[in-house]
Amino acid sequence: MFKSGRRPPNFINTGALTDGESLAKVKWAFGNFIANLLSEGKLQDFDFIFGPAYKGIALAALACEGLRELCGINKRYLYDRKEEKAYADRKMDQIIVGSGYFKPGDKIRIIDDVITTGDTKLEAIEKLRILGEHKVVGLVLAVDREERMGDAEHVEQKSAVQNIEEQFGIRVFSIPGMQRIYDLVKNEISDDIRRAWINYYDRYGVVSLR
């Protein structure tokens, strides 16, 4: 079950990718995806990649490594602490780790694993305000679940991605969306599971699965 109370028929867990081979593929996927967005002019250049705690931290680090190793693009990453640090180098990492390198006006790209209702991403955008003057120039995700905002009982019309793009003017990109994933696996899953996916997205989705 999600925090929203919804009971999805599937679950995306990048935290299960903990072996070296899997991490190398994540690094390759994000590095090339971001580099292609930059070369196509879909994503503005940026100074930092911000990974919200917790899963976004590893993804931000891997994306930076992938950009440097595969594409020759050198960027720094930032991540937030759940609790404020009260010792040692507080300037560098009291709340946003790596913020000692931040300069007013720097551009930040957010990275994370999955977006469902978008609450975590809105919290990340709000937390970055403590840095001062900056610009968030994009949000890149491993997967967009392509669901409407709300909870199990109250379903809004807009998806989390639509809300972020309209409210904050931040473009959102995902490597695949849930519709693409469904198209890849629908012939490999049972009729019952396939029907569960379809029914769930008929209620909560901004895409139709068939």
Query: pLDDT at residue 51 above 50?
Result: yes
Residue 15 is given by DSSP the state: G
Structure-block tokens of residue 22: 């899997």
Say if residue 143 is in the same domain as residue 197: no
Residue 130 covered by a domain: yes
Q: Are residues 102 and 196 in the same domain?
A: no
Does the structure show a pLDDT above 70 at 184?
Answer: yes
Residue 129 maps to a domain: yes
Do 103 and 196 belong to one domain?
A: no
Mean pLDDT of the chain: 91
38: pLDDT confidence band, cut at 50, 70 and 90?
very high
Report the CATH number at residue 53: 3.40.50.2020
- Give pLDDT, residue 90: 45
Q: Is the pLDDT of residue 85 over 60?
A: no
Q: For residue 119, tell me if it sits in a domain.
A: yes
DSSP single-letter state for residue 205 = B
Residue 1 belongs to a domain: no
SS3 78: strand
Q: Is residue 203 part of a domain?
A: yes
Number of structural domains the chain divides into: 2
Q: What are the structure tokens assigned to 173, written together?
A: 């990109």
What's the mean pLDDT in 7-23?
94
Would 117 be classed as within a structural domain? Answer: yes
pLDDT at 82 over 80: no
Going along the chain, which residue ranges are E strands? 48-51, 76-80, 96-97, 107-115, 135-144, 148-150, 155-159, 172-174
pLDDT at 139: 95
- Range 174-190 average pLDDT: 96
pLDDT of residue 172: 95
Q: Rounded to an integer, what distance in angstroms lies between the CA atom of residue 210 and that of residue 192?
A: 13
> Does one domain contain both 152 and 59?
yes
**Residue 69 lies inside a defined structural domain of this protein:** yes
pLDDT of 89 > 50? The answer is no
Q: Looking at the predicted structure, is the pLDDT value of residue 88 above 70? A: no
Domain that holds residue 200: 180-210
Nearest in space to 29 (alpha carbons), one of 87, 70, 88, 80: 70
Dihedral of CA atoms 32, 37, 38, 44 in degrees, nearest 10, equals -140
Same domain as 184, residue 171: no
Q: In this structure, are 54 and 75 located in the same domain?
A: yes
Residue 27, Cβ density class (10 Å: 0-12 exposed, 13-18 middle, ≥19 buried): buried
Does any domain span residue 127? yes
Contact of 147 with 206, CB cutoff 8 Å: yes
Spatial contact of 116 and 142, defined as CB atoms under 8 Å apart:
no
Residue 37 sits in the same domain as residue 121: yes
Judge whether residue 84 has pLDDT over 60: no
Per-residue pLDDT reduced to its tens digit, 115-157: 877 777 888 888 899 999 999 999 999 999 999 999 999 999 9
**pLDDT at position 43 over 60:** yes
CA distance 128 to 138: 13
Higher pLDDT, 87 or 56: 56
Higher-pLDDT residue of 89 and 207 is 207
The pTM for the full model equals 0.89
